[in-house]
């Protein structure tokens, strides 16, 4: 027969006491194992065997499951301005629990949180309420591109959104290279400006966007265009595009995220020049 510690380990390092009792471990036996240090009581009715991820442990001790930006970040999803606190989903009929070193951000919601962390689809829904529509849209496109949102998950997210927000997932695409591209496309969509995305131009290569007939818009994330070598390649591409009659506007992370007004003005002015 497996020991309680082996059983918990096979269950992923965390287990509810009720589950363990159904497997034949009595409350008294579990208490003795806690006293001997063989297993840990994370909170009343939940036991763990080390090592347990620190964020997940905090979420469980808080009385819920890790979710929102915390889960998205763990999956490599692009998240706009996420803080480093554990985001925890606690059932709407429950209260967060006090625990040592608590830095948790509590999110209340209907349903029973799983033990550990939520799926990406639930994390995205919580993230929209936490960070807003723009941040949700960028994270949704990022998760889709990474293959984290199969059709069933996308349908669940759309159905769970309020009707007024479902257009966000209808607009989303699976080929956005970065959250910055997602933000720019969404903001220009709201202005009535349509973009051709990921366009291949002879002699230039693939560009992020083409607006109108002759305007290229490139969004340079911090991780993709730092350094002299990438700067040189960008200049070569821009010169090749100019020979074909294109104007290129290139924006970086800070401009898109913090100085959008100037970005919008530059794009509108370039489109006006092209029409003339």
Helix (H, G, I), strand (E, B) or coil at 146: coil
**Residue 221 phi, psi dihedral angles, 5° rounding:** -70, 155
3-class DSSP state of 250: strand
pLDDT number for residue 223: 53
pLDDT given at position 91? 87
- In whole angstroms, give the CA distance from residue 217 to residue 135: 21
Per-residue pLDDT for the chain (276 aa), expressed as one digit of tens each? 679 999 999 999 999 999 999 999 999 999 999 999 999 999 999 999 988 899 999 999 999 999 999 999 999 999 998 788 999 999 888 899 989 999 999 999 888 899 999 999 999 999 999 999 999 999 999 999 999 999 999 999 999 999 999 999 999 999 998 999 999 999 999 999 999 999 999 888 899 999 988 999 999 875 554 556 777 888 888 888 889 888 999 999 999 999 999 999 999 999 998 887
Tally DSSP H helices, then E strands, for the chain: 13, 10
DSSP 230-244: HHHHHHHHHHHHHHT
* Domain segments of the chain as ranges: 4-122, 175-276
Nearest to 127 by CA among 147, 146, 143, 116: 143
In this structure, the strands spanning 46-48 and 65-66 are: unpaired
Whole-number Cα distances in Å, 1 to 4, 15, 24, 227: 9, 17, 10, 59
Burial of 229 (0-12, 13-18, 19+ CB in 10 A): exposed
Question: Which H or E run contains 274?
Answer: helix 260-275
Report d(CA 210, CA 216) in Å as an integer: 5
Residue 82 CA to residue 203 CA, distance in Å, equals 38
**What topology is assigned to 175-276 in CATH?**
Endonuclease; Chain A (3.40.960)
Helix (H) or strand (E) holding 139: helix 133-145
Q: Where are the beta strands (DSSP E) in the chain?
A: 14-16, 40-43, 46-48, 65-66, 87-91, 105-109, 195-201, 205-211, 215-220, 247-252
pLDDT score at 228:
63
In angstroms, the CA 20 to CA 4 distance is 8
């Amino acid at each position: 027969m497996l020991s309680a510690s082996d059983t918990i380990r096979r269950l992923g390092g965390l287990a509810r006491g009720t589950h363990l009792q159904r497997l034949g471990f009595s409350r008294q036996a579990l208490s003795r194992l806690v006293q001997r240090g063989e297993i840990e009581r994370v909170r009343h009715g939940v036991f763990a065997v080390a090592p347990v991820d620190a964020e997940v442990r905090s979420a469980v001790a808080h009385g819920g499951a890790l979710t929102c930006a915390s889960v998205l970040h763990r999956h490599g999803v692009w998240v706009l301005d996420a803080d480093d606190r554990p985001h925890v989903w606690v059932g709407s009929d429950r209260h967060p629990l006090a625990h040592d070193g608590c830095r948790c951000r509590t999110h209340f919601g209907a349903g029973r949180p799983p033990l550990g962390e939520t799926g990406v689809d639930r994390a995205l829904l919580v993230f929209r309420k936490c960070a807003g529509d723009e941040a949700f849209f960028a994270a949704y496109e990022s998760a889709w591109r990474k293959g984290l949102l199969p059709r069933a998950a996308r349908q669940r997210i759309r159905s769970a959104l309020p009707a007024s927000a479902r257009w966000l997932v209808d607009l989303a695409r699976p080929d956005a290279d970065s959250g910055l591209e997602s933000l720019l496309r969404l903001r220009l969509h709201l202005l009535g400006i349509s973009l051709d995305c990921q366009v291949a131009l002879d002699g230039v290569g693939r560009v992020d966007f083409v607006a109108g007939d002759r305007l290229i818009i490139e969004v340079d994330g911090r991780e993709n265009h730092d350094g002299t070598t990438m700067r040189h390649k960008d200049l070569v591409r821009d010169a090749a595009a100019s020979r074909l009659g294109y104007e290129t506007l290139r924006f970086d992370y800070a401009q898109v995220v913090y100085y959008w007004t100037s970005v919008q003005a530059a794009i509108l002015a370039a489109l006006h020049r092209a029409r003339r």
